[in-house]
Amino acid sequence: MKPSDENSRPHSLRQRLLAGDTVVGSWINSGSPMVAELMATTGFDFLCVDIEHSAIDVPQAQQIFQAIRSGRRDCAAVARVHGVDYAFVKRYLDAGADGIVAPLVRTREEALLLVQAAKYPPLGLRGVGFCRANAYGLRLADECARANEEIFLAVQIEHIAAVRNIDSILSVPGIDAAFIGPYDLTASMGITGQFEHPDYLTASATILAACQRHGIAPGIHVVSPVPGEVQARMIEGYRFIAYSLDITMLTTACVAGLAAIRDAQKSIQPAGVLENA
């Protein structure tokens, strides 16, 4: 993607997926705007702020959205909210999120609630008010028109009930991606973390096939920091991929680096220490 002109808006995450692109992002759990800005600068296509499994609230999220945009204008700032809740979806979009990942969507009705909360009339029921998303009222009309075209919406498929209802969920207009939560999905099937289990492979294949039928981008979270796993998911057909998360990448680097130092430390004799002392 070419660098965008300072006065033009970059192609949105939603537009890129509609065009058939594959996007790779990551997850923000630390609540640190500095970490988010740094990760955006490195070139991720999107960063998802995890509201569901962290202590991040709306004011913190707004600061992180600002940091992401500061790091790189065409890195989308996405929020994984705590559930399909009209008030929360609206508040994070008003704070400047470019998209929403809604967890534990199991029915068509829940998918409809997400669209209604995120889209302005006539496509939805999102309330209109002065906020950061519309430059506090300075771009109100433009933002209402832009948001309905560009706000990205993903339903998280992380329960076996959602797999059974996958066609009705993905038939809802306005849903852009189906994002597999592999740990929760396997947990709901009684096979937690068993990603080679035949039942999980069947479920994920069912989701992928449904995405193809409905023209929806299939997505998945690759928690492992091993890049080869992301490449494998691309080959399988996933196009909205979250690569690891900030706290996992930090922990992995610390553990690996310190282990190497401790191993070397065993064979190093400090200067000035006599062997037979």
**Band of residue 275 on the pLDDT scale cut at 50, 70, 90:** low
Q: What dihedral do alpha carbons 211, 216, 221, 227 form, nearest 10°?
A: 90
What pLDDT is recorded for position 7?
Answer: 43
What pLDDT is recorded for position 3?
Answer: 40
> What's the number of CA atoms in the CB half-sphere (13 Å) around residue 108?
8
Q: What is the pLDDT of residues 189-232, one digit of tens each?
A: 999 999 999 999 999 999 999 999 999 999 999 998 889 999 99
What pLDDT is recorded for position 269?
Answer: 76
- CATH fold group of domain 13-256: TIM Barrel (3.20.20)
**Band of residue 11 on the pLDDT scale cut at 50, 70, 90:** confident
Which entry of 53, 82, 159, 221 is annotated as an active-site residue? Answer: 53
**Listed residue (60, 54, 170) closest to 106, CA to CA:** 170
**Band of residue 276 on the pLDDT scale cut at 50, 70, 90:** low
What pLDDT is recorded for position 26?
Answer: 98
Those residues with Cβ within 8 angstroms of residue 126's Cβ, 6 or more apart along the chain or in another chain: 90, 93, 116, 117, 118, 119, 120, 147
What pLDDT is recorded for position 273?
Answer: 61
Q: Is the pLDDT of residue 9 over 80?
A: no
Pairing assessment for the beta strands 240-245 and 23-28 based on DSSP bridges: parallel
Q: Is the pLDDT of residue 2 over 80?
A: no
Pair of tokens at residue 192: 């937690």
Pair of tokens at residue 79: 């929020």
Q: Is the pLDDT of residue 6 over 50?
A: no
Determine the Cα–Cα distance for residues 153 and 105; give it in Å rounded to an integer.
Answer: 12
At 189, the amino acid letter reads M
**Listed residue (206, 203, 205, 244) closest to 222, CA to CA:** 244
What pLDDT is recorded for position 10?
Answer: 55
Average pLDDT over residues 225-250: 95
Q: Is 53 a catalytic residue?
A: yes
**Residue 52 CA: distances (Å) to CA of 11, 140, 231, 245:** 27, 29, 27, 14
- Yes or no: say if 193 and 183 are a contact pair by the CB < 8 Å rule: yes
Rounded to the nearest integer, the mean pLDDT of the chain is 93
Average pLDDT over residues 98-113: 97
Average pLDDT over residues 89-111: 97
Q: Is the pLDDT of residue 239 over 90?
A: yes
Q: Is the pLDDT of residue 246 over 90?
A: yes
**Listed residue (144, 158, 145) closest to 110, CA to CA:** 158
What is the Cα Rg of the chain in Å?
A: 21
Domain ranges within the chain, ordered by starting residue: 13-256
Residue 256 region by backbone torsions, left for phi larger than 0, else alpha for psi between -120 and 50, else beta: alpha
Determine the Cα–Cα distance for residues 182 and 59; give it in Å rounded to an integer.
Answer: 29
Supply angle C-alpha 131, 29, 74, rounded to 5: 55
Determine the Cα–Cα distance for residues 105 and 89; give it in Å rounded to an integer.
Answer: 14
Those residues with Cβ within 8 angstroms of residue 30's Cβ, 6 or more apart along the chain or in another chain: 54, 246, 247, 250
